[in-house]
Amino acid sequence: MIWALAVATAVAACGDDLPEVDGVASVVWVSRLRAQTGLKRPIPVTLTADLVALVRQGRDVGGVLHDLGMRRTERTPRRPYKVVLFDVAATSLCRPMAGPAVAIAGVSVCTEPPVRKGEASCGLWLAKDGVRTGPAAFRGAWKDLAADGFCVLPLERWMDHARGGGAPAM
């Protein structure tokens, strides 16, 4: 009974904004160009469709990074950023949320640590202004995310493609 109440409280705190993820999802890791990670270290990712929606709303590089909690201002950064695209099973992802480690909208809740800087406590990115929430936040270990391959592109070039500028040239 208490467990069910905790799950209901966690979902109610977030509203109905959490997207359902079932089967395989396309996710993207946005990071500085030279950023690296370990095989088992969880990295923050978001649904590719959510990032495309931000770009199509007219957000530029600085605005996207701000909405993902990566920059304080919406100014265009001086340093280059990259996107790493993955197709992963929902079981390889977790939601950064406070609450019991159960599946919510098809994805389990992260157990360690439940919430990090830049993440709202209800599984959404928290913009650096601390007021607005961005798209749905997820985490996954590199070894699980990259198991079926990945694609790395400069963020600006990927954004041009997401706006409808055609396929990125390789």
Per-residue pLDDT of the chain (170 residues), as tens digits, is 443 334 444 445 555 567 788 788 999 999 999 888 888 888 889 999 999 999 999 989 999 998 888 888 889 999 999 999 999 998 899 888 777 767 788 888 887 765 566 666 677 777 766 666 778 888 999 999 999 999 999 999 999 999 987 655 44
Q: How far is Cα 44 from Cα 143, in angstroms, rounded to an integer?
A: 14
pTM of the model as a whole: 0.80
Q: How far is Cα 147 from Cα 169, in angstroms, rounded to an integer?
A: 24
DSSP secondary structure string, 82-116? EEEEEEEEGGG-EE-BSS-S-EETTEEEP-SSS--
Domain limits, the chain: 2-15+24-162
